[in-house]
Chains A and B, each alone.
Chain A
Amino acid sequence: MSSVARPAFTGRKARFIALCLLPGVIFVAVFTYYPMIRGAVIAFQRYNLFDLTSTPFVGLENFRSVLAEDRFWTALRNTGTWVAVSLFFQFFLGFGLALLLRRQFRGRGLYQAWVFFPWAMSGFLIGLLWRWMFNGQFGVVNDLLLKAGIIDERIGFLASPGWAMTSVIVANVWYGVTFFAIMIMAALQSVPGELYEAASVDGASRLRQFWHVTLPHIRPTLALIVLLRIIWILNFPDLIYAMTGGGPAGGTDIVTTFLIQQVIGGDYGRAGAVGLLVLGLLLSFSVFYLNVTRFERSR
Chain B
Amino acid sequence: MRRLAKGVVLGAWLLITLFPLYWIVVTSLKPKAEIFSMPLRYWPGEVTFEHYEELFSFADFGTYLLNSLLVSLVAAGAVTVTGVLGGYVLARFSFPGRGALMLAYLVTQMIPLFIALGPLYLLMSDLDLLNRLAGLMLVYVAMLVPFATIIMRGFYERIPVALEEAAQVDGASRLTAMARVVIPVMLPGIAATYIFAFVQCWNELFLAITFIDSEDAKTIPVAMNSFITQYDIDWGSMAAATVVSVIPTLILFAAIRRYIVEGLTAGAVKG
CA distance A233 to B199 in the complex (A): 19
Contact A133 B242 (CB under 8 A): no
Residues of A within 8 A of B199 (CB): 120
Q: Which residue in chain A gives the minimum CB-CB distance to B248?
A: A120
- Stretch of A28-36, A62-70, A159-167, A194-202 at the chain-chain interface: A28-36
Distance, CA A219 to CA B6, complexed state (A): 25
Q: How far is the CB of B9 from chain A (nearest CB, A)?
A: 6
- Is the C-beta of B18 less than 8 angstroms from some C-beta in chain A? yes
Min C-beta distance of B155 to chain A, whole Å: 12
In the complex, which residues of chain A have a beta carbon less than 8 angstroms from the beta carbon of B90?
Answer: 21
B112 adjacent to chain A (CB < 8 Å) = yes
Residues of A239-279 whose CB lies within 8 A of B: 239, 241-242, 256, 259-260, 263, 268, 271-272, 275-276, 278-279
Contacts of A1 in B (CB 8 A): 157
A20–B221 Cα distance when bound, in Å, is 33
Q: Is residue A38 within 8 Å, beta carbon to beta carbon, of the partner chain? A: yes
Q: Is B73 an interface residue (CB 8 A)?
A: no
Q: SS class of chain B's interface: helix, strand, loop or mixed?
A: helix
A131 cross-chain contacts in B, Cβ below 8 A? 233
Contact B260 A182 (CB under 8 A): yes
When C-beta atoms are compared, the residue in chain A nearest to B251 turns out to be A120
B138 contacts A27, CB within 8 Å? yes
Contacts of A272 in B (CB 8 A): 115, 118
A116 at the interface (CB under 8 A from B): yes
B179 to chain A, nearest CB (A): 13
- How many interface residues does B have (CB within 8 Å)? 92
Q: Does A226 contact B (CB under 8 A)?
A: no
Q: Which residues of A contact B20 (CB under 8 A)?
A: 126, 129-130, 133, 174
Q: Which B residues from 196 to 210 make CB contacts under 8 A with A?
A: 199, 203-206, 210
Partner of B110, one of A32, A115, A118, A231: A231
Q: Nearest residue in A to B144 (C-beta to C-beta)?
A: A27
Complex Cα spacing A24 to B143, Å: 10
Apart from A31-B142, A34-B123, A115-B13, what are 14 other A-B pairs with CB-CB below 8 Å? A9-B95, A27-B141, A31-B123, A35-B116, A35-B119, A36-B116, A114-B17, A120-B249, A124-B225, A234-B112, A239-B271, A271-B118, A275-B115, A278-B115
Between-chain CB contacts (< 8 Å), 15 pairs: A13-B93, A20-B86, A27-B82, A28-B142, A28-B145, A38-B119, A100-B6, A124-B205, A129-B23, A132-B239, A174-B20, A238-B206, A238-B271, A241-B206, A263-B210
* A-B complex: 8 closest residue pairs judged by Cβ atoms: A275-B115, A236-B271, A122-B203, A31-B142, A35-B116, A268-B118, A120-B253, A35-B119
